[in-house]
């Protein structure tokens, strides 16, 4: 399997359950459709061994007490290549414990293999309400030119080490304000985040536009 989406590396405690009410998911799914149309989420037979990529999440309920108990709705594992998702393709992460490499979830599908990464950002700041993990060769390749924060290239996706990298970078006020982190050890991986769905989505679109502009500049 390619180092993209679908390979769960953490210890998962998942209980099957009914899907969440679609009203809770509609906004998240709308942004997923936008990113799919832009190619930031999807499946390309010529990339990553033909494995689907991209996952989105949204905080759920109030964030009180232990940060590891902050719940969020997230796209299910191996859903990146699907053009349309329904309620059965989303699940609820109830607990996220990067230090234990453990996720607790409930719903009709197992959570994305990047759930630890999402959980680390929610734990880092009560103001983070949306996290989008996409794949963009343009942003990834232009990261240094654009001055974007990048995780250690030795750290693979879906691991406690990647979660720790997210928490480390997020402590920088400039990173918090920028809303984008590039995953150095995960080919083309980029994470957008913010206090609302629109903020997380728009920062990725703006960053893609900046990357495209840089790449089109004459030699």
Would you say residue 158 lies in a domain? yes
Are 146 and 207 a contacting pair, CB within 8 Å? yes
Residues 127, 16: Cα–Cα separation, whole Å: 29
Would you say residue 3 lies in a domain? no
Would you say residue 173 lies in a domain? yes
Domain span at 175: 11-215
What's residue 6's pLDDT?
56
Q: What is the pLDDT of residues 197-207, one digit of tens each?
A: 999 999 999 99
Would you say residue 5 lies in a domain? no
**In this structure, what CATH number is given to the domain that contains residue 76?**
3.40.225.10
Are 25 and 73 a contacting pair, CB within 8 Å? yes
Q: How confident is the model at residue 3 (pLDDT cuts 50, 70, 90)?
A: very low
What's residue 219's pLDDT?
57
Rounded to two decimals, the pTM is 0.94
Q: Is 96 helix (H, G, I), strand (E, B) or coil?
A: strand
What's residue 65's pLDDT?
77
Are 119 and 98 a contacting pair, CB within 8 Å? yes
Q: How confident is the model at residue 44 (pLDDT cuts 50, 70, 90)?
A: confident
Q: Taking all residues of the chain, what is their mean pLDDT, rounded to a whole number?
A: 92
Q: Report the domain count for the chain.
A: 1
E strand or H helix that includes residue 191: strand 189-194
Would you say residue 118 lies in a domain? yes
39 contacts: CB under 8 Å, gap ≥ 6: none
Would you say residue 154 lies in a domain? yes
Would you say residue 6 lies in a domain? no
Is residue 75 predicted with pLDDT exceeding 90? Answer: yes
Would you say residue 2 lies in a domain? no
């Amino acid at each position: 399997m390619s180092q993209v989406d679908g390979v769960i590396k953490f210890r998962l405690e998942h209980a099957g359950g009914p899907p969440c009410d679609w009203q809770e998911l509609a906004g998240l799914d709308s942004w997923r459709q936008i990113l799919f149309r832009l190619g930031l989420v999807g499946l390309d037979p010529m990339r990553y061994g033909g494995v689907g990529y991209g996952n989105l999440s949204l905080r759920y309920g109030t964030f009180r007490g232990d940060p590891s108990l902050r719940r969020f709705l997230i796209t299910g594992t191996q859903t990146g290549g699907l053009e349309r998702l329904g309620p059965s393709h989303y699940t609820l992460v109830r607990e996220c414990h990067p230090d234990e490499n453990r996720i607790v979830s409930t719903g009709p599908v197992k959570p994305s293999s990047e759930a630890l990464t999402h959980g680390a950002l929610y734990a880092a700041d009560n103001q983070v309400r949306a996290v989008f993990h996409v794949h963009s060769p343009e942003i990834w390749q232009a990261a240094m030119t654009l001055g974007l924060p990048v995780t250690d290239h030795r750290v693979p996706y879906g691991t406690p080490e990647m979660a720790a990298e997210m928490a480390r970078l997020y402590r920088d006020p400039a990173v918090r304000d920028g809303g984008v982190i590039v995953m150095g050890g995960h080919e083309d991986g980029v994470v957008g985040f913010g206090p609302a769905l629109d903020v997380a989505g728009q920062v990725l679109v703006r960053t893609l536009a900046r990357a495209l502009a840089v790449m089109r500049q004459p030699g």
